[in-house]
Structure 1
Amino acid sequence: MTNVTKSTLNEAEFPKPTLISVNGVALEVFEAGRQNAGKPIVLCHGWPENAFSWRYQVPALVEAGYHVIVPNQRGYGNSSCPAEVTAYDIEHLSGDLIALLDHYGYKDATFVGHDWGANVVWGLTLLHPGRVNGVVALALPYQLRGEKPWIEFMEEFFGSDHYFVHFNRQPGVADVILDENTARFLRNIFRKNVPQKAPEPGMLMINLAKAEEPLGEPVMSDSELAVFVSAFEATGFTASINWYRNLDRNWHLLADANPIIHQPALMIYGDRDMIPKFERLPEFVPNVEVVNLDCGHWIQQELPEETNETILKWLEQQNNS
C-alpha cells in the first residue's frame, strides 16, 4: 500500500487530460494506470471542485492495480457546459458516466464520489445498477427520497436563505456574486478546523464569497488552490450550480427506481462535516461499511493518507470476497 503525503504531488504531476465525446458532450478526462486495464475505478468530484480534488488518490489507486478514470463532469473545467438547466439532471449526469464506461469498453466499474459526486454515484447506481460493481461515497450519504421534492422540503425545513433553496428560488443571484469573487470564495470555502459558531444571517455561499478573512486553516497550498481558481474563472459558476437546480427534477426522475442499493458500498464521513450522517443508511444500502475520519468536509484533501488507506483496504476486501 502506498503512502502519499501532501508534499509528493502537485498539479504538474496530475495526469494530462483528454477530451472524450460522450452522451452529446465532451468530457475532460484525466486517466492513469491504463496498464491496469480491466480494473476500472471512476472518481467523481464534488462542488466547487473538479477532477484535481482526487490528486492524492490517483497514484495510490494506480499502484494498487486500478485503471483510474477521473472526469471533469459536465459544467466543470474544459468539459462541455450546456446552457439548458435541465442538461444537468441525474439522467444526463449518470448518462455521461455510463457513456464513459462504454468508451473504455467496460461493462461495469467501481464508482467513487465526494459531495455532489457522491450524489451522482448514488443516483447512477439506482438508475443503472448493472453498470456499478461497488460504491464509495465521501461526505454525502444516500439521500432518502421522501414524500416531498427535495427543494420543497428544504425550503420548509431550512428556510429561503439555505443555499440549496436560494440557488433554485433566486436563479442567477449567487452566480454573479461568486463569479465576481471567485478567488476569495474558493479560498474561504476550502478550509479545515473551522471553529464552531452560530450561523450568520444570509446565504452561506454569498457570505463566503464576501468574507474578508477566512476561518480555520487552508485545506491546500496556494498553488493547488490556483488550479481551482483558474478553472472557475474560465467557466464561471452557473453550470456547476445548475446541478442544484435539478434536485426536484431528480426527485421525479428517481420515482420508479428501486430504492435499495445492493452493491457493496463504503461510506466515509468526516466527523466535523456539517452534512448530517444518515442513521438509516443500512436499510437502503444493506452491504455498506461506514468509516468516520477526524476531518471536515474536504475528506480526501484534508486526510489523503487516511482516505487512501480506508479505500484501499475496502477494495482489497471486495476483491477477496
Structure 2
Amino acid sequence: MAPEKLKPDDPRVEHRTAQINGKTYYYLLGLPPGVTSPVATVLLIHGWPDLAFGWRYQVPFLLSLGMRVIVPDMIGYGRTDAPANDLRAYSFRSISKDMAALVRHVLPDDPNPSVVVGGHDWGGFLVWRLALWQPTLVRAVFSVCTPYAPPLPEWLEPEAYVARIPNFRYQLQLASGEVERYLRPGDESRLRSFFNGIFLGRNSSGEGIFRTDRGLVFENFDSVGPSPIVGPEEIDFYVREYSHGRSSSEKKDKQPDTDESDSPLHGPLNWYRTRRINYEDDQELLRQGRTRITVPSLFISARGDVALPPAMSAGMEQYFDQLYRAEVNAAHWALWMTPDEVNSHIGAFLGKVVGHGSVKASM
C-alpha cells in the first residue's frame, strides 16, 4: 500500500527555516523513520503556483525508500522571502546558488554534499539548470512535465519567443502585472477561485480560468467550481499560505508607489520576468561549453499537459549522457493526478542511480 500523502503541518516532516544568501527560506525536512544513514538526499523543487506542499504524494514515498528529503518553498512563495523588485534573486543562477547553500546548511557535516534533485513546472526548468550551474552538487536529476531547454545563443523578444512556442503565450500576461492588478491582497474569495480554477476547476459551461493562448480568464473566476484534484482542506491551505503578510526583506526593497507588489501573486509571478536575466546568464554556460547534462536523468512527461506538451521534449537525448524517459496519462498536475505512476517511475530511477535494494520497479 502506498504511504498516505502529507497533510498540512504533517508531523512526518520538520518545518524549518534557514538564512540563505541574505534571504529566509522555509523548507520541509523529511527523515526516514528508523534509518540512521539515509540512502540518499533528495531535493524537490516546486513550480507555479505551488508550494513545497505540492510534493505531498512524493515525500512519504521517498521516505519509505530510506531517502532524506528537502523541500523548500521557493523564492517568492509561501513562507520564504519574496523580494519585490530584485528580479535577479529569481534567476536560475541565483536560485541554484541558494539551493547549494541550503543543502550545505542541512548537511553541515558533509564537506562535499551530493543530492538527487527533482522538479515540476518551473522547478523542472530549475533542476536542469541546477545540474549545469552546480555540477558537483547534483548526483542525479528528474523532472516531471518540464523538458530540458538548452541555453539559447541569441535573444528572442517576447513576441518572437511565443511565436516559436505558442503554448507559452500565456506567459506574456503573467509577466505583465495584469494578474497582480486583479488579485489584490485581502481578497480571499478571489484567491480561492484562483486556486480552484488553476487546479482544474470548471464552471457549469465546462470553462476554466486558464488558457495557454491567453493566461488567466478573469471573467470565469466568479463561476468556477471546486477543484476535482485538490480537496477543500488543501485549497484552504494554499489560500492561507498565499495570504501571509510580507516578509521584512520584501518590505525593505518595496518601492512606495508599486501597487502590484502588494498582490499575493507578485513574488511567484516574478519568475516570469527573468527571461532576459536567465538568457544573459546562459551565455556564460555557452562560453564554458556547459550545456550537456552529464548525470543520470529522468524525464516524466504528462500526456495531457497543454502548457508543456510531451512533443516539446523531442530531441532531448542529444544533450544527455544518460536519459531515461517515462510518460503518464495526466494533465499538468501529474504529481497529484497519477501519483502512484509518478512515484513508480521515480522509484525505478532511484533504484538505478542509488542502488537501493528495496526499489523493485524496472524501467
SS of residue in 2 equivalent to 1:11: coil
Q: Within 1, Cα distance between the matches of 2:133 and 2:211? A: 38
Q: Within 2, Cα distance between the matches of 1:144 and 1:94? A: 16
State which of 7, 10, 31 in structure 2 corresponds to 1:10: 7
Identify if the C-alpha distance between structure 1 residues 213 and 117 changes in structure 2 by more than 3 Å, giving closer, same or farther.
Answer: same
Identify if the C-alpha distance between structure 1 residues 249 and 63 changes in structure 2 by more than 3 Å, giving closer, same or farther.
Answer: same
What amino acid sits opposite 2:283 in the alignment? Answer: A
State the Cα distance separating 1:126 from its structure 2 match: 1.2
Matched, 1:276 2:309: yes
Paired position in structure 2 for 1:109 = 115
Identify if the C-alpha distance between structure 1 residues 90 and 280 changes in structure 2 by more than 3 Å, giving closer, same or farther.
Answer: same
Q: Contact between 2:51 and 2:78, CA under 8 Å: does it hold in 1? A: yes
What amino acid sits opposite 1:276 in the alignment? Answer: P
Q: Contact between 2:169 and 2:212, CA under 8 Å: does it hold in 1? A: no
Compute the RMSD of aligned alpha carbons.
2.8
State the Cα distance separating 1:210 from its structure 2 match: 2.9
Structure 1 gap segments, 5+ residues each: none
Q: Contact between 1:36 and 1:67, CA under 8 Å: does it hold in 2? A: no
Paired position in structure 2 for 1:165 = 172
* TM-score, length basis structure 1: 0.88
Paired position in structure 2 for 1:319 = 354
Q: Within 2, Cα distance between the matches of 1:249 and 1:226? A: 34
Matched, 1:264 2:296: yes
Matched, 1:289 2:287: no
State the Cα distance separating 1:157 from its structure 2 match: 3.9
Tell me the matched-pair count.
314
Deviations 1:242-268 (A, max 9, x none): 111002210110113211111101101
Matched, 1:212 2:210: no
Matched, 1:23 2:11: no
State which of 69, 85, 88 in structure 2 corresponds to 1:86: 88
State the Cα distance separating 1:154 from its structure 2 match: 2.3
What amino acid sits opposite 1:185 in the alignment? Answer: F
Q: Contact between 2:117 and 2:140, CA under 8 Å: does it hold in 1? A: yes
Greater mean deviation of Cα atoms: 64-73 or 233-242: 233-242
Q: Contact between 1:44 and 1:51, CA under 8 Å: does it hold in 2? A: yes
Q: Which has the larger radius of gyration?
A: 2
Q: Contact between 1:150 and 1:251, CA under 8 Å: does it hold in 2? A: no
What amino acid sits opposite 1:167 in the alignment? Answer: L
Q: Within 2, Cα distance between the matches of 1:77 and 1:53? A: 12
Deviations 1:190-233 (A, max 9, x none): 12899799x96973224487362249x61111101211121112
Deviations 1:109-130 (A, max 9, x none): 0001010111111111111111
Percent identity, aligned pairs only? 24
Q: Contact between 1:154 and 1:165, CA under 8 Å: does it hold in 2? A: no
Q: Contact between 1:191 and 1:218, CA under 8 Å: does it hold in 2? A: yes
Paired position in structure 2 for 1:255 = 283
State the Cα distance separating 1:4 from its structure 2 match: 3.1
SS of residue in 1 equivalent to 2:223: coil
Q: Contact between 2:196 and 2:224, CA under 8 Å: does it hold in 1? A: no
Identify if the C-alpha distance between structure 1 residues 241 and 208 changes in structure 2 by more than 3 Å, giving closer, same or farther.
Answer: farther
Identify if the C-alpha distance between structure 1 residues 298 and 201 changes in structure 2 by more than 3 Å, giving closer, same or farther.
Answer: closer
State which of 172, 194, 214 in structure 2 corresponds to 1:203: 214
Greater mean deviation of Cα atoms: 41-50 or 271-280: 271-280
Identify if the C-alpha distance between structure 1 residues 200 and 25 changes in structure 2 by more than 3 Å, giving closer, same or farther.
Answer: closer
Q: Within 2, Cα distance between the matches of 1:86 and 1:219? A: 34
Structure 2 gap segments, 5+ residues each: 247-263, 357-363
State the Cα distance separating 1:66 from its structure 2 match: 0.6
Q: Contact between 1:36 and 1:66, CA under 8 Å: does it hold in 2? A: no
Deviations 1:156-214 (A, max 9, x none): 4468x92212333x3x22122234521111100112899799x9697322448736224
